[in-house]
């Protein structure tokens, strides 16, 4: 098989499919692997899959395992609710809740792929041509390479080239009107009062922030989401951003959140884009081509499951191909039917969460009262963390 895209989803697919016997050519458009400084959260549903993939030990060496998630009002600093994680999550769902630097997650998957064998990694191999037949797919790259395989997997992200082969008359990803300011820094560089080993979400009017430990708890990942737009090409997703702009946009923040914003001087800015929740299995596969991760279902980060759904996709794809190795179109149809409704549900829940996080006025008061009364019952998502 050929997999286009060497991010977390593509590497996970390469590893899971190689483990069930497939020979994989993994095509990555960049000349070198590299992940920009950002963090990701992995729920128990995802950690269980990673453990089954054989990377559980590597995960433990580089991730953080927060004891709980707490939600606070960003303007009053009041703690609204607490969701126990740690041992509680492990006992309830069979695996812990993990926070990890994206670069660490990518590196451990890449190391596992290279150690396993069965995967040839091709860098600087942007896909420029795809032809599908009843027998397979022919892929051409910018380096004049040609790959022929019985199936093609598009793990090439939001601006997927492969997606055009699956979804006809497809619209461009939509701009959400939300901006993400991100920073990652050593906790030792922060005042002691701002260092933490828990996940904290701060909810404010038209903004929110989340921070959590990464790099075995030694660093802190910080994400601030505000309403707004940036000029220029939306595909230029990584922009320099100055601290003054963020402080101005989050001027209503108080307490430790305000102190953290003023303690960090270097931020990167992403304009957030997504697609509407998936409407059918036809958006996941067609013939001998399948999509996974952001190529199929880009989502807003307000349920912290973008990477998680890509990894779930990878595991489901490998399972279907292992069960029907000689019936690839049927296997991909089964994969699409297994995945699209769950991915659509996560996409929709993420959109709804963003609306709830940014409430104002009386709606915000009602949200805060509900969180104080029900706490973990509102914050927990058993349908998600129990896995597909």
311 and 377 fall within a common domain: no
Per-residue b/e over 166-186, b at no fewer than 16 CB within 10 Å?
bbeeeeebeebebbbbbbbbe
- According to the model, what pLDDT value does residue 36 have? 64
Distance of CA 153 to the CA centre of its chain: 18
19 and 93 fall within a common domain: no
SS3 content of the chain, % helix, strand, coil (to 5): 40, 25, 30
199 and 310 fall within a common domain: no
Identify whether the C-beta of residue 342 lies closer than 8 Å to the C-beta of residue 387: no
179 and 267 fall within a common domain: yes
Query: Is residue 71 situated within a structural domain?
Result: yes
238 and 363 fall within a common domain: yes
Q: Which of 226-230, 346-350, 374-378 shows the lowest per-residue confidence on average (mean pLDDT)? A: 226-230
CA distance 41 to 89: 14
Query: Is residue 167 situated within a structural domain?
Result: yes
| Count: domains in the chain | 2
Query: Is residue 117 situated within a structural domain?
Result: no
CA distance 291 to 275: 14
- pLDDT digits 0-9 by tens, 78-110: 999 999 999 999 999 999 999 999 999 999 999
Mean pLDDT of the chain: 95
User: At residue 237, does pLDDT exceed 80?
Assistant: no
264 and 302 fall within a common domain: no
Q: Which of 173, 171, 166, 163 is CA-nearest to residue 282? A: 166
Residue 200 sits in a domain of what CATH number? 3.30.9.30
Q: What are the φ and ψ backbone dihedral angles of 272, each rounded to 5 degrees?
A: -85, 135
Q: Is the pTM of this model over 0.85?
A: yes
- According to the model, what pLDDT value does residue 289 have? 98
183 and 281 fall within a common domain: no
What is the span of the domain harbouring residue 7?
1-32+123-173+275-355
Q: Given pLDDT bands bounded at 50, 70 and 90, which one contains residue 37?
A: low
319 and 232 fall within a common domain: no
282 and 326 fall within a common domain: yes
Query: Is residue 250 situated within a structural domain?
Result: yes
Query: Is residue 132 situated within a structural domain?
Result: yes
CA distance 251 to 242: 15
Other CB atoms closer than 10 Å to residue 36's CB: what's the count? 12
């Amino acid at each position: 098989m050929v997999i286009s895209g060497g991010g977390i989803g593509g590497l996970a697919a390469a590893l899971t499919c190689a483990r069930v016997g497939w020979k994989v050519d993994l095509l990555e458009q960049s000349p070198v692997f590299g992940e920009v400084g950002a963090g990701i959260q992995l729920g128990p549903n995802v950690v269980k899959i990673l453990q089954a993939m054989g990377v559980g030990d590597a995960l433990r060496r580089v991730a953080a395992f927060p004891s709980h998630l707490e939600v606070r009002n960003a303007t009053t600093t009041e703690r609204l609710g607490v969701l126990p994680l740690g041992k509680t999550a492990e006992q309830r769902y069979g695996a812990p809740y993990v926070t990890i630097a994206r670069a660490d997650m990518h590196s451990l998957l890449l190391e596992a792929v290279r150690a396993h064998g069965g995967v040839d990694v091709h860098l600087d191999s942007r896909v420029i041509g795809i032809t599908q037949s009843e027998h397979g797919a022919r892929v051409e790259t910018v380096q004049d390479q040609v790959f022929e395989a019985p199936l093609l997997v598009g793990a090439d992200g939001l601006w997927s080239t492969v997606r055009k082969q699956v979804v006809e008359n497809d619209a461009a990803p939509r701009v959400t009107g939300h901006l993400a300011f991100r920073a990652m820094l050593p906790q030792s560089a922060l005042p002691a009062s701002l260092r933490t080993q828990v996940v904290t979400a701060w909810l404010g009017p038209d903004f929110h922030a989340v921070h959590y430990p990464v790099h075995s708890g030694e660093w802190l990942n910080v994400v601030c989401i505000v309403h707004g737009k940036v000029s220029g090409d939306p595909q230029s997703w990584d922009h320099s951003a100055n601290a003054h702009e963020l402080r101005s946009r989050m001027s209503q923040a108080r307490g430790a959140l305000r102190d953290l914003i003023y303690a960090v001087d270097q931020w990167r800015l992403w304009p957030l884009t997504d697609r509407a929740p998936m409407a059918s299995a036809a958006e996941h596969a067609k013939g001998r081509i399948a999509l996974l991760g952001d190529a199929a279902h880009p989502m807003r980060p307000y349920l912290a499951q973008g990477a998680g759904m890509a990894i779930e996709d990878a595991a489901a794809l490998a399972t279907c191909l292992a069960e029907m190795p000689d019936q690839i179109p049927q296997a991909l149809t089964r994969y699409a039917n297994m995945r699209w409704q769950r991915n659509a549900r996560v996409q929709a829940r993420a959109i709804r969460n963003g609306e709830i996080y940014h409430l104002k006025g009386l709606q915000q008061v009602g949200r805060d009262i509900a969180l104080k009364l029900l706490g973990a019952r509102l914050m927990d998502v058993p349908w998600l963390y129990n896995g597909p």
